[in-house]
Structure 1
Amino acid sequence: MATRTTMSPPVHLSLPTDAPRPAVGCDVCAALAGQRSEAYRRGDRSAVSDCNVEIVAHRERGRC
């Protein structure tokens, strides 16, 4: 088996997407947006991502 002596091609990553907007007038979306802001403030990017997923899922289920 030959030893590879060249570098692998570069990995191309997309830019991060914008945070989903909470639905106007929805208390659940507003609460999730508040939790997301708090998580971002304390540096918990995992919780920020979780809140983003919950906001999108809540809107897609038509619960706003």
Structure 2
Amino acid sequence: MENIKTTMSDPVHLTLPSPDPEPVRGCAGCVELANVRDRARAGGDFTTVSDCNVFLRRHPQGHS
């Protein structure tokens, strides 16, 4: 006979999302990513918003 779990899992505790990173002053790539992020948010494309935030946070390593 299989061992089947019949109780509920512990609750999941979520935190608030981090604030959007700011574009680095003087970096054209950062400015473009911030513009894409703004357009994506306006269009409800939160996957692209998240992707842009990741790239902005990676500024020291580049935007690839």
What TM-score do the two structures reach when normalised by structure 1?
0.79
**Alpha-carbon offset, residue 25 of structure 1:** 1.5
Counterparts of 1:27 and 1:47, CA distance in 2: 18
Root-mean-square deviation (CA, aligned residues, Å) is 2.0
Q: Which has the higher contact order (CA 8 A, sep 6+)?
A: 1
Moved over 6 A (4+): none
Which residue of structure 2 lines up, in the alignment, with residue 52 of structure 1?
53
Runs of 5+ in structure 2 lacking a partner? none
Which residue of structure 2 lines up, in the alignment, with residue 61 of structure 1?
61
- The size of the alignment, in residue pairs, is 61
- 1:14 paired with 2:15, answer yes
Correspondences of 1:2-41 after superposition (within 5 Å): 4=6, 6-41=7-42
Runs of 5+ in structure 1 lacking a partner? none
What TM-score do the two structures reach when normalised by structure 2?
0.79
Q: Percent of pairs identical after alignment?
A: 44
**Alpha-carbon offset, residue 56 of structure 1:** 1.4
